[in-house]
Amino acid sequence: MLLVVELSLMLLKPRKTSSLPRPDVARLVQDAELKDLYNITVQNKSASLGALPDDVEESWISFSHVIRSSAEEVIGPARYSRHAHRLNSCSS
């Protein structure tokens, strides 16, 4: 007895999982005082790092932590609205 089976598979795209919220970059670009405060915070935290390790991965982790923690402290998370594009077009 011969059994024939047809199988069809669909590959799903992996979902992006971000444990950290994205910083509000638009607010940073628009506000000069906020930009200055962010730059000072990054400089202070970078100075406290001291000498970076020779390993590129470890250096990147340290540098990335400085950037992300500074953004979290100074800028805060971005707030997205589903209808933000409608609000912008109506206000003009």
Q: Tell me if 55 is assigned to some domain.
A: yes
Q: Tell me if 44 is assigned to some domain.
A: yes
Q: Tell me if 11 is assigned to some domain.
A: no
> Which tens digit of pLDDT belongs to each residue from 1-29?
788 888 787 887 777 666 667 888 888 88
Ramachandran angles phi, psi of 76, nearest 5°: 90, 170
> Which tens digit of pLDDT belongs to each residue from 45-80?
988 888 877 888 988 888 889 999 999 999 888 877
The verdict on pTM exceeding 0.85 is: no
Say how many Å lie between the first and final Cα of the chain, rounded: 74
Our CA angle for 49, 73, 61, nearest 5°, is: 40
Q: Tell me if 35 is assigned to some domain.
A: yes
Q: Tell me if 89 is assigned to some domain.
A: no
In which domain, by residue range, is 68 found? 25-79
Domain count, the chain: 1
